[in-house]
Chain A
Amino acid sequence: MTMTDTKKGTMDRREVMGTIAAKRGTALMVTGLGSATYDAGTVDHPNTFCLWGGMGAAAMTGLGLALAQPERRVLVVTGDGEMLMGIGAFATIGAQRPKNLAIVVIDNEHYSETGMQPTHTQRGVSLAGVAQACGFAGTETVYTPAELDAVVPRLFETDGPFFAAIKVNTQRYPMSIRVRDGAHLKDRFRENLLGAERAYY
């Protein structure tokens, strides 16, 4: 995509999340604060760790997890505002080149939690372009359901680091209120992944 790109996302973010989650298999997932975490609440799984804070943390949390679990696929799903706050992570992950890590930005080009202010992605910044320039093994920007269907297997199979920006419309959904306690979410994730003995030793 170029800086003059004016295509707009038309897909629905929850359908995108559903399409990705349906193919996750044994993948471990980290979601970034805001809408991506709320979307994940509709397809909850014990192998998902949802961040409700620490804006900018999602991609790097994914890197630490990917390094700790090299035999498992790790998928980060976050929003454009959250990714922009941690944009340096593209450089750190590009330098590290973890084969088992993929990052998806569900990109509505707005800060939807705070009043729908435009993010930089609405103003010409290409996150896929940043990821590519930082040395990611593969990057895509996706606008249509057909393109999404083509990219989803690559999230889970191709050598990473892989990045996809998935352009969606600005539809907002109510917060899918569920467990917000981070200590519980962490323990749930660790117990499921590592077993109780190792999770709590």
Chain B
Amino acid sequence: MKIEPTPRLWPGEIFQALKRSDVRQVAYVPDAGHVELIASCEADPGMSAVSLTTEEEGVAMLAGAWLGGDRGALLMQSSGVGNCINMLSVPLHCRMPLLMIVTMRGEWGEFNPWQLPMGQNAERVLQDMGVYIHRANHAEEVGQIVYAAAQLAFSSNCAVAVLLSQRLLGFKDWSK
């Protein structure tokens, strides 16, 4: 299997989409796929970037952000989706916007079988809860998709998850 080229522009395009959407609070549990984006958010004086102990904290935090007039985004890996499920009651019942940006595991060439149960079911579980899904499979569409998802969330008061396909993150060759 040929290793795909790794230099990536889309993290910067996500950051620009968040800035254009006036996102002020970014809550995250780190993921390798979000390295550049987290660094950009931490460095931006117009953003509060908050590292969480678990993803559901971010759902609650961004509910508070919205109460106070701030737009927010929640960054996580697909394994974190499961940690959020009951807490999604808050934005869903209260008709608050929620923008989640999820880097996927357990799909494209996954080498760690422990990632499969949550990774393969994250999209369905989110949909079952009433979260709208925008999936990004190609690098060139990521920025546009995040910007559209932000408008959907903040203008329609709904929960939206952008799923960044594992294919975007590159292929780790563990065969040798």
Contact = CB atoms under 8 A, between A and B. Distances in A.
Given A60-B61, A64-B60, A54 B87 contact: yes
- Interface size class on chain B is 20 to 34
A190 interface: yes
Interface stretch (A1-9, A84-92, A155-163, A171-179): A84-92
B93 A57 contact: no
A63 interface: yes
Interface in B50-86: 50-54, 56-70, 72, 86
A68 B51 contact: no
Nearest to B92: A182
Contacts, number: 118
Interface size class of A (residues with CB under 8 A): 35 or more
A150 interface: no
A183 B93 contact: yes
B166 interface: no
Interface string B92-123: 01111000000000000000000000000000
Contacts of B34: none
B25 interface: yes
B64 A193 contact: no
A64 B69 contact: no
B93 A64 contact: no
A158 B95 CA distance: 34
B99 to A, nearest CB: 13
B90 interface: yes
A63 B56 contact: no
Contacts of B95: 182-183, 186
Interface string A1-41: 00000000000000000000000000010100000000000
B57 A60 contact: yes
Given A54-B86, A64-B63, A193-B68, A182 B93 contact: yes
B89 interface: yes
Contacts of B27: 64
Contacts of B64: 30, 60-68
Contact of A182 (B50, B61, B68, B94): B94
A41 B48 CA distance: 32
A56 B60 contact: yes
A60 to B, nearest CB: 4
Contact of B94 (A92, A95, A185, A198): A185
A104 to B, nearest CB: 16
B68 A67 contact: yes
A74 to B, nearest CB: 8
A92 B67 contact: no
Contacts of A30: 64, 67
B173 to A, nearest CB: 35
A51 interface: yes
Interface string A76-120: 000000000010110110011000000000000000000000000
17 contacts: A54-B60, A55-B86, A57-B56, A57-B59, A57-B63, A60-B58, A60-B60, A63-B50, A64-B63, A65-B64, A86-B57, A88-B52, A88-B54, A185-B94, A190-B67, A193-B67, A198-B69
List the 4 closest A-B pairs by CB distance, nearest first: A68-B68, A64-B64, A88-B53, A182-B94
